[in-house]
C-alpha cells in the first residue's frame, strides 16, 4: 500500500503505552487516514509509567492532535485530562484523548466498540454473562448495563466482580449478580445467557482458556471473545461448533478504533478499508 506523504502540515496522532510494539492500531488508523485523504499519521510512543506526566506535557507542546492510551496508563492518564467524557468517568479509565488547543478530553471507546460489534438489536433486553472484571470488562459492563435485562459477572478474583456489581447496581436498573469462576456456576450461567462475553485475559496467547464447554453452548446464543491474540480463540471455535453466533475481538478492536477516529477527526471512519488493512496484516503475520 502507498506510504503517506509526510509534510510540515501533517497532523500527528498516536498511541501511548508500554509495550506498544505489537499494536495493530497504526495499521487501522493509517489505513483510515489514507482512505479519507487526511494529512495525518498515527505512530506509537513507548512511555514508561514514570514518564507519563512529561509525555502528556509533550503531547501539548508538540501539538499531537489525539492519542490512544493502553496498558499501563489507562487509569493514571485520567488525572492529566482537563475534562472527561461521562462514560469514561463512570468506567474509571480512558483509552482515547482528544487534544483541542492544549485542552485534553478523555474518552473510553471500549464499551461502545463492543456494543457496535454485538449490535443494539441483539443486546437490548438480553441476559449477558460477562467473564472478567478488569478494565475492558468494566467498560463493557457500563456500556451494556443501560440496555440489557441482566448481567452475571464471573471473575477469578470474586472481590473484583463484587466491586463491579456494586458500581453497576448504583447506576443502572438491570439485574446484576456476581459469581466465582467455578465449573458448576459456569455451566449454569452459560445455559442462562443469551450473550456470552469473554472480557478477561483468559485464552490470550492460547493460554488459560475460559472454562466453557462446547456442549453448554447452543445456536441461539452469541459469543463475543474480546481477546484478539490469537484472532480465533478456543472459545470462538467452540461457539462455531455449537452453531452459536461468533464475534471476534478484532471486530471490537476495529470498532473502538473507528470511534476514536471519529472523535479525533469528526469524520466517519472508513471501516471497510480499516478491516481490509487489518485482515491483510493478520495474513502477513500468518505467512511470516
Ligand atoms: P485487565 O484489566 O488486566 O483485566 C484482566 C482480567 O482477566 C481480570 O478480570 C482478571 O481477573 C482476568 N484474568 C487474567 N488472567 C486470568 C486467568 N489466568 N484466569 C482467570 N482470569 C484471569 O485487562 P483488560 O485491559 O481488561 O484486558 C483483558 C483482555 O481484553 C486482554 O486480552 C486484552 O488484550 C483484551 N482487550 C481487547 C480489546 C479489543 O478491542 N478487542 C480491548 C481491550 C482489551 P482478576 O480480577 O482475578 O485478576
Based on its alpha-carbon atoms, the radius of gyration of the chain, rounded to whole angstroms, reads 19
Round to whole Å and give the CA distance between 23 and 75.
19
> Residue with the nearest Cα to atom 29 of ligand 1?
201
Give the residue among 134, 111, 145 at the shortest CA–CA distance from 259: 111
83-96 mean pLDDT = 96
CA–CA distances in Å: residue 124 to residues 5, 121, 147, 174, 209: 44, 6, 5, 11, 28
Q: pLDDT at position 5, please?
A: 82
pLDDT band at 97 (very low <50, low <70, confident <90, very high): very high
pTM of this structure: 0.94
What pLDDT, in 10s, does the model give residues 149-195? 999 999 999 999 999 999 999 999 999 999 999 999 999 999 999 99
* Ligand 1 pocket test target in 28, 107, 132 with most atoms within 8 Å of CB: 132
pLDDT above 80 (res 1)? no
Neighbours of 164 (CB within 10 A): 23
pLDDT above 80 (res 288)? no
Atom of ligand 1 nearest to the CA of 132: 9
> Residue with the nearest Cα to atom 40 of ligand 1?
253
Amino acid at each position: 500500500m502507498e506510504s503517506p506523504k509526510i509534510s510540515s502540515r501533517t497532523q500527528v496522532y498516536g498511541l501511548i503505552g508500554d509495550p506498544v510494539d505489537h499494536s495493530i492500531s497504526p495499521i487501522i488508523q493509517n489505513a483510515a487516514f489514507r482512505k479519507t485523504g487526511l494529512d495525518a499519521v498515527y505512530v506509537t510512543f513507548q512511555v514508561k509509567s514514570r514518564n507519563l506526566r512529561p509525555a502528556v506535557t509533550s503531547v501539548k507542546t508538540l501539538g499531537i492532535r489525539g492519542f490512544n492510551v493502553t496498558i499501563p496508563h489507562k487509569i493514571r492518564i485520567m488525572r492529566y485530562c482537563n475534562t472527561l467524557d461521562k462514560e469514561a468517568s463512570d468506567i474509571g479509565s480512558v483509552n482515547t484523548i482528544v487534544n483541542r488547543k492544549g485542552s485534553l478530553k478523555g474518552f473510553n471507546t471500549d464499551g461502545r466498540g463492543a456494543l457496535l460489534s454485538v449490535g443494539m438489536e441483539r443486546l437490548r433486553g438480553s441476559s449477558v454473562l460477562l467473564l472478567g472484571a478488569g478494565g475492558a470488562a468494566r467498560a463493557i459492563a457500563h456500556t451494556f448495563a443501560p440496555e440489557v435485562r441482566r448481567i452475571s459477572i464471573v471473575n477469578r478474583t470474586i472481590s473484583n466482580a463484587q466491586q463491579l456489581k456494586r458500581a453497576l447496581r448504583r447506576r443502572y436498573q438491570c439485574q446484576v449478580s456476581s459469581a466465582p469462576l467455578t465449573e458448576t456456576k459456569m455451566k449454569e450461567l452459560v445455559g442462562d445467557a443469551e450473550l456470552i462475553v469473554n472480557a478477561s485475559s483468559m485464552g490470550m496467547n492460547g493460554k488459560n482458556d475460559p472454562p466453557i464447554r462446547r456442549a453448554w453452548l447452543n445456536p441461539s446464543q452469541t459469543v463475543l471473545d474480546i481477546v484478539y491474540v490469537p484472532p480465533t480463540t478456543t472459545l470462538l471455535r467452540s461457539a462455531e461448533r455449537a452453531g452459536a453466533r461468533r464475534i471476534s475481538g478484532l471486530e471490537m478492536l476495529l470498532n473502538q478504533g473507528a470511534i476514536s477516529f471519529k472523535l479525533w477527526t469528526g469524520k466517519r471512519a472508513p471501516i471497510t478499508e480499516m478491516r481490509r488493512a487489518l485482515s491483510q496484516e493478520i495474513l502477513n503475520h500468518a505467512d511470516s
